[in-house]
């Protein structure tokens, strides 16, 4: 008998919600993902900022490690 896939519900269709859903769908665990949101990409609403907001993320891991080595933390 095959194991049932775990059901995951992701709340929000912004950048974080969409990336979380995508990561779960492409993981080896093969989750069943349901995305629940008021707005989705392509919607034009003043309450949905993702189409208007720029996203920029950088890891600070390297900065923390170099600061620790330099004795600054």
Specify burial of residue 21 (Cβ count, 10 A radius: 0-12, 13-18, 19+).
buried
Residue 8: beta bridge partners?
A: 33
Provide mean pLDDT across the span 19-27. Answer: 92
Average pLDDT of the chain?
77
pTM metric for this prediction: 0.59
Q: Please write the tens of the pLDDT for every residue from 7-18.
A: 999 999 888 898
Domain borders along the chain are 7-69
């Amino acid at each position: 008998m095959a194991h049932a896939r775990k059901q995951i519900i992701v709340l929000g269709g912004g950048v974080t919600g969409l990336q979380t859903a995508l990561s779960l769908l492409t993981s080896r665990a093969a989750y069943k993902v349901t995305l629940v949101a008021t707005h989705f990409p392509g919607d034009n609403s003043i309450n949905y900022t993702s189409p208007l907001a720029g996203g920029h993320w950088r890891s600070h891991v390297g900065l923390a490690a170099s600061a620790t080595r330099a004795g600054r933390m």
